[in-house]
Amino acid sequence: MRVKREFIIVAVLGLVLVLVWMWVLGIVPGKKRVREPIERPLTGQISPEELRKKAEEAALSLSNWLKKQGEIEEMLAYQEGARDPFHLSLKKKEETKEEIKESLPLQPPKLVLKGIAWDETKPLALINGLLAKEGDTIQGARIVKIDFERVVIRYRSKEFVIELIEWKGKKSSEI
């Protein structure tokens, strides 16, 4: 008997909860209201004067909005000569990159020539543990020519020579 009573109480509370939720969502209408249709003038009933007047009002409101936008931009604009921290000049950025490249001494990447497999038609070089042929690129350096005991590379439009056997005091030299 007690279980049956608890079941009925839970069922009634659940039903009340569902009804309240439906009422909040507007699914269950409380009273049916008769909405009056909104009176809209038909396009055929508007006279040319009324249409011209509405167009002038729209143009005036648009021009007022544009004036307000201009005033807001003037208020937010930096004074002449002041730098906007959120605006990056692309020309200055490109110029600084070029200046940095020019100011740094041009050195090819560290490339170690371990060996050359010489063939007149298809010579191969073992550079930094990688097998490379003419025209390949390793660490940004393009292999221009592979000779019997040296490799010519081009790095940033300058050519460098890597010797197969580098003697003491002799390093890669610029051509």
- CATH code for the domain in which residue 124 is found: 2.30.30
Residue 21 domain flag: no
Length of the chain: 175
Residue 67 domain flag: yes
Residue 169 domain flag: yes
63 to 6, 50, 58, 67: CA distances (angstroms):
69, 20, 9, 6
Domain span holding position 161: 113-174
pLDDT digits (tens, 9 = 90+) for 99-139: 666 666 678 888 888 899 988 889 999 998 899 999 999 98
- Residues 70, 118, single domain; the answer is no
Domains held by the chain: number: 2
Residue 10 domain flag: no
**pTM as predicted:** 0.38
Give the chain's residues under pLDDT 70: 28-44, 75-105, 166-175
- Residues 119, 73, single domain; the answer is no
Residue given tokens 């038909």 in the structure block? 42
Residue 161 domain flag: yes
131 and 96 in contact (C-beta within 8 Å)? no
- Residues 117, 160, single domain; the answer is yes
- The 8-class DSSP code of residue 114 comes to E
